Amino acid sequence: MARSSQADASVEAPPLTGLRVLDLTQFLSGPFGTQMLGDLGAQIIKLEPPQGDSSRSIPPHFIESDSLYYISINRNKKSVAVDIKTSAGIDLVRRLALGCDVVIENFRPGVLDRLGLKSSELRDRKPSLIWCSISGFGQDGPYRDKPAYDMIVQALSGGMSLTGEPGRPASRAGVPIGDLAAGMYAATAILAALHRRTLTGRGDFIDISMLDCQAAMLCYQGAYYLHSGKIPARQGSGHDSIPTYRGFATADGSEIVITANTERMWQGLCRALGLDQLADDPKFKTNRERYNNRAELWPILETAFRLRSAAEWVPLLESEAIPVGVVNTLDRVMVDPQIQHREMVMHLHSEDGREARVMGNPMVFKDARANEITYPPALGENTFDVLQDMLGMNAEELTELVKCGAIPPSVKTTPPVG
């Protein structure tokens, strides 16, 4: 088993054991980031409005009342349902925040301030507190107050202009990279702030902009434009610099991708395709010539690849040490032997019998256990347990919070007796 250390009692606790995070996020970017922290052992207290995280109701797939969308990004969390539009609810959130190491939220800038939950005031009261805000465009600038979603920032960042086939309309990335990248950058920044806190004792305010994250991920494409002034076109399945780093259709209708990006690989590709004459052709002798003459080279390669199936091409190319991969559909991904070996399909089980399969945790530590996996919580499932454990509230106080509307009466559990 790839993660056999999970069962080894000699290894240490998960890396973030003892870290407490108040998660005020909904939908995707924030929950994905806090799930990463939860997978690493942090205690995640997911605070939800009375109606729950909006992702709980996204069709088409549901397990009982919760969507698979929600279930896929909310494992290893505890749900506390609080109405922050009530004064008692806001006071409760303040107390929870002061009992945590990290607060992470993805409200539009200024919303929490108007509700009376100001990061500056809480950080004054607890200087070690780390507060991370995820928003579409950051806490300042001309777009500060604009709403943003994944596809909006994909479009505005320029990344979407690179995605799709040449001559065709732009396409959003098949995975919601605008949201996911923001969650990952947030988790990374939080870990950096935690390290700084061990040195200084002080927390920080972290400002994560989804648009900033997408702009950063332009990487070499951004640098190419800044240097040349040339606007790159749609990339399709190819590469702007390496003409033999791209996808090809095969005889059986499948697609494969190759990354023949060295001279040795080019020679091997010619042998595998039965095109030995190309290897010494002056027009294709080096990557620079192949790049300059790619419009002539590609039809030759495309014709050759259509002569065999993907299953035939893979061993032929691998025998020449050319990196190659089939463009898998998800049914093939889930049974792929490497995916299975690495336990990247995770089985979730709740105490009341709910089950789901989701994608797993890619972070594997040799000397630390993986966190024990818990099924995503029902709305408000842990409200009373968390308030008792963290704030020492008794049954009378909890009942009063329900009566005044700070805790919705619809939460799954009821106040303890006595």
Whether the predicted pLDDT of 62 surpasses 60: yes
The pLDDT score that the predictor gives to residue 2 is: 47
Q: Where in the chain is the domain with CATH 3.40.50.10540?
A: 4-217+362-403
Average pLDDT over residues 378-389: 96
* pLDDT band (50, 70, 90) for residue 4: very low
* pLDDT band (50, 70, 90) for residue 5: very low
| Integer Cα distance of 274 and 282 in angstroms | 18
Catalytic residue among 179, 204, 331, 367: 179
The pLDDT score that the predictor gives to residue 410 is: 78
| Integer Cα distance of 245 and 238 in angstroms | 6
Q: Where in the chain is the domain with CATH 3.30.1540.10?
A: 245-249+255-326
| Integer Cα distance of 37 and 21 in angstroms | 9
Tell me: the pLDDT tens digits for 135-179? 999 999 999 999 999 999 999 999 999 999 999 999 999 999 999
Task: Say what percent of the chain tops pLDDT 90.
Answer: 93
Say which CATH class 4-217+362-403 falls into.
Answer: alpha beta
* pLDDT band (50, 70, 90) for residue 312: very high
Whether the predicted pLDDT of 13 surpasses 90: yes
Cβ contacts of 390 within 8 Å, gap of 6 or more: 45, 96, 99
Closest CA to 273 of 239, 324, 237: 324
Burial class of residue 365, CB neighbours in 10 A (0-12, 13-18, 19+) = middle
Query: What homologous superfamily is domain 245-249+255-326 in, according to CATH?
Result: formyl-coa transferase, domain 3 (3.30.1540.10)
Task: Say what percent of the chain tops pLDDT 70.
Answer: 96
The pLDDT score that the predictor gives to residue 11 is: 75
The pLDDT score that the predictor gives to residue 412 is: 62
Task: Tell me which residue has tokens 């032929």.
Answer: 316
Summary mean pLDDT of the chain? 95
Whether the predicted pLDDT of 78 surpasses 70: yes
Q: Is 179 a catalytic residue?
A: yes
* pLDDT band (50, 70, 90) for residue 10: low
* pLDDT band (50, 70, 90) for residue 358: very high
